[in-house]
Amino acid sequence: MVKLDILSDPICPWCYIGKANLERALERAGDHPFEIEWHPFQLNPDMPREGADRRSYLEAKFGGKDKAVAAYARVTEFAAQAGLTFNFEAMERTPNTLDAHRLIHWAGIEGRQSAVVSALFRGYFTEGRDIGNPEVLSDIADSAGMDAAIVARLLASDADTDDIRTRDAHSRKMGVNAVPTFIIDHRHAVPGAQSPEVWDRVIGDIKAQIGAES
């Protein structure tokens, strides 16, 4: 197996699109070579813990309503190509994602990262849920087969908070400044929401290399 580390934030639309494109290629490949692990990267590390009104946040980020609308029109186009439907009208808040990243970390310990990451993306972009809310996160954990009561207790504590922040800071120190970023075999960085066809070629090349070495 080849390690595929994915740096991502569950409120990043391009991360969701990139995940969908990768999964399409993995399905086509069948016996793909990747062992996948998700890693924390906060788009807004200074976001208040309670989050912010999403419309105000986007208008401030993009320099006004019209520019925000234009930016997300492009996102909507690429999401549709990836087979995703974003329900922007239902998304009222932009959350702080520190706790969501803690949940992803705990899910990794239990071998449930893929299910939790998928549920976080779907919860935010399709269902308009506030994934900064501990109750929402506990419910997502439960839907992925984790113990919601234990997750709720962990979220009420500072467990692994420093670890998530340290890992996020380490990625920035190593030069990562945008997500998604895919790191193949600890050596090759593939930035951005690549198309399924790009992943087809990457997977084919890796399989050929493994075949040549065996």
Q: What is the CA radius of gyration of the chain?
A: 17
User: Angle at Cα 192 formed by Cα 191 and Cα 197, nearest 5°?
Assistant: 100
- E strand intervals along the chain: 2-8, 34-40, 52-53, 93-94, 181-184, 188-191
pTM of the model: 0.95
pLDDT value, residue 214: 65
The DSSP output letter for 43 is S
* Amino acid sitting at position 69: V
Domains and CATH numbers, the chain: 2-213 (3.40.30.10)
Q: Determine the Cα–Cα distance for residues 191 and 1; give it in Å rounded to an integer.
A: 21
Q: What is the pLDDT of residues 80-116, one digit of tens each?
A: 999 999 999 999 999 999 999 999 999 999 999 999 9
Q: Percentage of the chain surpassing pLDDT 90?
A: 93
Long-range contacts of 112-115 (CB under 8 A, 24+ apart): 112/144, 112/145, 112/146, 113/36, 113/37, 113/38, 114/36, 115/143, 115/144, 115/145
The pLDDT confidence band at residue 210, using thresholds 50, 70 and 90, is: confident
The answer on pLDDT for 39 being more than 70 is yes
Kindly report the average pLDDT of the chain as a whole number: 96
